[in-house]
Amino acid sequence: MTDSKYFPTFLAGLPSMTDKTVVITGTTSGTGKIAAATVAGLGAKVLVLNRASERSTAAFAELTAAHPDADLYSVECDLQSFDSVRAAAAKVAELSPGGVDVLANNAGVMALADTATGDGYDVQMQTNHLSHFLLTRELMPLLEVAAEARGEARVANHSSVARMAPSKKLQGKYLEANGGNLGGDGSGIQNMVFNGPRWQRYNQSKLANAAFTAALHHRLQSSSSKVKALVAHPGLANTHLQLTSVKEGGMGNMFTNIFMRFSQTPEDGAMGLLSCMCLAGAKSGQFYGPGSGAMAMRGKADPFDLEPFYDNDATRNLLWSKSEAAIGGSFDI
C-alpha cells in the first residue's frame, strides 16, 4: 500500500460489514484480492471464487493468515466454463443459508488471443461477462433473501474505461458462440489507441459489464426489488492484468512498462469496486470510478450516472437476450 494516494483515507471511511456475506470472483491478485481482504477486515463473511491454481491456493492462504478470525471460504469457479459456474453457485448456496449481501463480479482477462472456451464463446466475453451473468442469475434468490432480511443487497460489476472504445456500440456477434472467429490475434495498438481485434473483444466485454448493470438495474427497479446493481472501473491499476496480456501476446513489454507509469496502485484502483460493495449511500444504477472520461486513469472513486451509449432500450435488450441465449435459460427478475 506504500504508494497508494487515497486508499488509507478511503478505508478509514468504510462501514462495518459484520453480518454481511460477500461473494467475490477473481481474488488471486489485483483489485479482487484487495477487495476480499478489505471486506474480511471489516467483518464480512467472505466467499472467494477462483479457478484452481497455485495462485488461488497461495492467495487464500494469505487471506486466512491476515484475517485469522474471519469467516472465509474458498470456492472453485472457472469462469471459462458454465458448468463450473453452476457448481460454484450451488456451493455458495450451501455455504450461505442467510443469503448473499454482496456479489462482486470482479474477475477479468484482457487482450487474449482469439480462442473459444469449451462452451464455444470468446474467452474474454465468457470470462468477463457471460459467466458473471450466469453467476448473478444463479445467486439472485440468495441476494433477494439477504435484501429481505437486511434491507438491501448488491451486485457490483467491474467495467473499464475500455467500455468507450472504439465504437461505444455493443455488437451481438461478440456475445454469440463465435469464439475463435472474432477477428484474429492482432493487437493493433497505435498511438496509444487500442483498436486491434484482441482489444475490440476486451472493449466489448467491458461494455457488456456496463450494459449488464444498466439492464439489471432497470429490471430490479421495475420489480421493486431491494437488490441494487452498481458498476465500477479502476482507472489504470498496476495489477496482474497487464502481465497476463504481455505474456499472452496482447501488449509489448516495453510499451507496457511505459504505459504503466500512468497507473495507480491496486488499492487505489479497488476503491470504485469497494464503493459499490460497501458504501452506505451507494445507489442502484451508479457507476464509481476515478471519473467518467476516457482518460480517467487515476484518482478518488466518485459516483457518476450510467451512460446513454449502453443505458438505452436497444442495448439493454440486446445484452439480456444474447446473454440468456448463451447460458441456455431465462433470467427473470
Ligand X SMILES: NC(=O)c1ccc[n+]([C@@H]2O[C@H](COP(=O)([O-])OP(=O)(O)OC[C@H]3O[C@@H](n4cnc5c(N)ncnc54)[C@H](OP(=O)(O)O)[C@@H]3O)[C@@H](O)[C@H]2O)c1
Using the rule CB under 6 A, give the single segment among 65-73, 187-195, 219-227, 238-246 that binds ligand X.
Answer: 238-246
DSSP type of residue 8: H
- Asked whether the beta carbons of 239 and 31 are under 8 A apart, the reply is yes
Our finding on whether 237 is near ligand X (CB under 6 A) is: yes
> Least distance (Å) from ligand X to the CB of residue 43?
23
Q: Which is nearer to ligand X, 179 or 234 (CB)?
A: 234
For residues 183 and 179, give the distance between their C-alpha atoms in angstroms, rounded to a whole number.
10
* Under rule CB under 6 A, residue 245 binds ligand X: no
- Would you give the distance in Å from CA 274 to the centre of its chain? 11
Interacting residue with ligand X among 225, 239, 265, 284 (CB under 6 A): 239
Using rule CB under 6 A, residue 9 touches ligand X:
no
Active site includes 174?
Answer: no
Question: Is-contact 305 217, C-beta < 8 A?
Answer: no
Q: How many residues bind ligand X (CB under 6 A)?
A: 34
Q: Which of 73, 202, 288, 310 is catalytic?
A: 202
Q: Does residue 32 interact with ligand X by CB under 6 A?
A: yes
Residue 29 near ligand X by CB under 6 A = yes
Maximum CA extent, the chain: 52
Please choose, out of 46-54, 65-73, 279-287, 322-330, the segment that lies near ligand X by the rule CB under 6 A: 46-54
C-alpha cell at 69: 478470525
Which has the closest alpha carbon to 164: 191, 185, 195, 188?
A: 195
Q: How far is 14 from 278, CA to CA, in rounded Å?
A: 7
| CA dihedral for 243, 79, 68, 46, sign (positive or negative) | positive
Q: Which is nearer to ligand X, 126 or 284 (CB)?
A: 126
User: Between residue 197 and residue 236, which ones bind ligand X under the rule CB under 6 A?
Assistant: 233-234, 236
Q: Could you tell me the smallest distance in angstroms from the CB atom of residue 231 to ligand X? A: 11
The Cα-based distances of 84 to 36, 50, 59, 125, 171 in angstroms read: 21, 10, 20, 16, 26
**Interatomic CA distance for residues 286 and 213, integer angstroms:** 9
Provide the annotated active-site residues: 202
- Report the interface residues with ligand X, using CB under 6 A: 25-32, 50-51, 53, 55, 77-80, 106-110, 127-128, 158, 160, 233-234, 236-237, 239-241, 244, 269
